[in-house]
């Protein structure tokens, strides 16, 4: 059997695809790089935003039209969030829910034999220490927990990922040790909310980070997105764990809105003041920190004053990375019962915020011109050169390098999205 995998969405979804590929290969299935050579097409879906949903629906329809004799297997969040739409879109496809990926071999075999099999719903399968086919042999994505504790009014992902399930520190450390032994130089801790880690088991994110950084070897650790409300009670310990040289000085802390009433309406569970307290504490303890944040523009209760509050907070915190999403209703969410604001107004606000984002990122990067940075090379550039990351996770492009190696570079050019450097 030959199978082709295509993945949409977040780092966590990328890891799910790598695990499914590993499980399949371990059982004799050949993972191929082109649809033309495949017997089965596995599409691992994301459903967090409306544009992503539309992209996936159009893609599935196009592939079915283009390859009518191929068998299809749909995995990921769409399966659990919108099964009615998926049934109409691909009635002969097999399904694998977001928390049922260990069933991939059985579902693939059934599809190959002409039987439609669908594994959906919640399951407490532990995804740690499973076979893995890494898409980049230098980077290991470590899923530390799945699900979340939140009930954000706009989010449909929680319907697929379910309630929080943290994986044991001992197993996560063992998986990391194997990854380092395999030659991985970057370990990416990922979850729907890494700050929620251990709140169901009594373990702590800070302890997990300390255990992973205690592993011998020359590698870096990137800690993924944290929900502000879940980091506050262990803030000092988490910051201390970030001070280890192996941890990137990189904090991904979504704001979503700079207005307290909108945050309340979103059911975020934190205030603007609490958010700023976390950022201020991190930056005071780790001055070279890079901050990434997320903002939803045009939530149904966001008026012009609330949006201006968001602009003001972004000007204050000056994030190095800002992910902007225009609000759209998502299936089953509380906010989908509200009236959306005028789309032209939303588009205008998004443009204004994006202009501010570019201005801040350009200014932040210019401050690094002429400095010497230590970077880790993890990939080749799509347009040539090699891609490395500074200790604060800034992207640096150099002309020549060896993958997986650390270099000292002088920053020679700065743009809003990346830097250019010369190896010393």
Read off the pLDDT of residues 232-273 as tens digits, 9 standing for 90 and up: 989 999 999 999 999 999 999 999 999 999 999 999 999 999
Amino acid 36: pLDDT: 93
Residue 95 has pLDDT above 90, yes or no: yes
Residue 14 has pLDDT above 90, yes or no: yes
Written as one string, the DSSP assignment of 155-214 is --HHHHH-B-EEPPHHHHHHHHHHHHHTT--EEEEE-S-GGGTTTTTT--HHHHHHHHHT
SS3 19: helix
Q: 139-366: same fold as 2-119?
A: no
78, 80, 227: which is closest to 152 by C-alpha? 227
Read off the pLDDT of residues 370-386 as tens digits, 9 standing for 90 and up: 999 999 999 999 889 99
On whether the CB atoms of residues 389 and 220 are closer than 8 A, the answer is: yes
Q: Write down the CATH number for the domain with range 139-366.
A: 3.80.30.20
The Cα 405–Cα 183 span in angstroms is 11
Q: Quickly state the pLDDT bin for 206 (edges 50, 70, 90).
A: very high
Fold of domain 372-423: OB fold (Dihydrolipoamide Acetyltransferase, E2P) (2.40.50)
In the chain, where are the structural domains located?
A: 2-119, 139-366, 372-423
HSE at residue 305, side-chain half, CA atoms within 13 A, is: 4
Mean pLDDT, residues 6-11 taken together: 94
On whether the CB atoms of residues 226 and 218 are closer than 8 A, the answer is: no
Written as one string, the DSSP assignment of 214-274 is TSSSS-EEEE----HHHHGGGHHHHHHHHTSTTB-SEEE---B-S-HHHHHHTT-S--HHH
Amino acid 123: pLDDT: 85
The Cα 142–Cα 126 span in angstroms is 12
Residues 6+ apart with CB under 8 A from 128: 143, 167, 168, 171, 172, 174, 175
Burial class of 37 by CB neighbour count within 10 A (0 to 12, 13 to 18, 19+) = exposed
Read off the pLDDT of residues 389-405 as tens digits, 9 standing for 90 and up: 999 999 999 999 999 99
Residue 125 has pLDDT above 90, yes or no: no
Q: Quickly state the pLDDT bin for 364 (edges 50, 70, 90).
A: very high
Amino acid 383: pLDDT: 86
CATH top class, domain 2-119: alpha beta
SS3 24: helix
Residue 105 has pLDDT above 90, yes or no: yes
Q: Could you give the C-alpha distances from 205 to 171, 228, 233, 281, in angstroms and in order?
A: 14, 14, 11, 17
Read off the pLDDT of residues 43-56 as tens digits, 9 standing for 90 and up: 999 999 999 999 99
Read off the pLDDT of residues 16-31 as tens digits, 9 standing for 90 and up: 999 999 999 999 999 9
Read off the pLDDT of residues 289-313 as tens digits, 9 standing for 90 and up: 999 999 999 999 999 999 999 999 9
Q: What average pLDDT does the structure give for the chain?
A: 96
Residue 124 has pLDDT above 90, yes or no: no
Residues 320-342: b if buried by 16+ CB within 10 A, e if exposed: bbbebbbbbbbeebebeebeebe
Amino acid 230: pLDDT: 96
């Amino acid at each position: 059997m030959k199978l082709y995998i295509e993945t949409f969405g977040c780092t966590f979804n990328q890891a799910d695809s790598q695990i499914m590929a590993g499980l399949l290969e371990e059982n004799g299935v050949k993972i191929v790089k082109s649809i033309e050579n495949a017997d089965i097409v596995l599409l691992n879906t994301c459903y967090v935003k409306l544009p992503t949903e539309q992209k996936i629906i159009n893609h599935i329809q196009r592939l079915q039209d283009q390859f009518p004799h191929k068998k299809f297997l749909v995995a990921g969040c769409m399966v659990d969030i919108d099964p009615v739409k998926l049934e109409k879109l691909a009635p002969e496809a097999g399904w694998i829910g977001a928390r049922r990926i260990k069933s991939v071999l059985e579902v693939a075999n059934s599809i190959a034999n002409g039987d439609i099999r669908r594994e959906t719903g919640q399951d407490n399968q532990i995804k740690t220490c499973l076979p893995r086919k890494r898409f980049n042999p230098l980077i290991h994505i470590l899923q530390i927990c799945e699900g979340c504790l939140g009930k954000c009014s706009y989010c449909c992902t929680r319907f697929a990922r379910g309630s929080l399930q943290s994986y044991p520190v001992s197993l996560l450390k063992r998986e990391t040790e194997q990854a380092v032994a395999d030659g991985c130089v970057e370990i990416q801790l990922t979850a729907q909310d890494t700050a929620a880690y251990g709140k169901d088991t009594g373990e702590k994110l800070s302890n997990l980070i300390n255990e992973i950084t205690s592993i011998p070897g020359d590698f870096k650790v990137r800690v993924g997105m944290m929900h502000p409300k879940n980091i506050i009670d262990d803030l000092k310990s988490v910051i201390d764990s970030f001070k280890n040289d192996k941890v990137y000085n990189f904090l991904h802390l979504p704001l979503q809105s700079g207005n307290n009433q909108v945050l309340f309406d979103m059911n975020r569970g934190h205030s603007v003041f609490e958010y700023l307290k976390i950022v201020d504490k991190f930056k005071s303890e780790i001055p070279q920190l890079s901050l990434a944040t997320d903002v939803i523009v045009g939530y149904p209760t966001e008026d012009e004053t609330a949006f201006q509050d968001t602009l003001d907070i972004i000007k204050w915190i000056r994030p190095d990375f800002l992910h902007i999403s225009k609000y759209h209703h998502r299936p089953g969410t509380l906010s989908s019962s509200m009236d959306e604001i005028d789309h032209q107004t939303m588009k205008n606000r998004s443009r204004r915020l994006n202009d501010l984002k570019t201005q801040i990122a350009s200014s932040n990067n210019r401050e690094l011109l002429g400095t010497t940075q230590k970077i880790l090379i993890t990939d080749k550039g799509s347009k040539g050169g090699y891609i490395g990351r500074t200790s604060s996770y800034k992207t640096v492009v150099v002309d020549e390098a060896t993958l997986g190696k650390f270099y000292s570079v002088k920053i020679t050019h700065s743009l809003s999205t990346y830097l250019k450097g010369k190896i010393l």
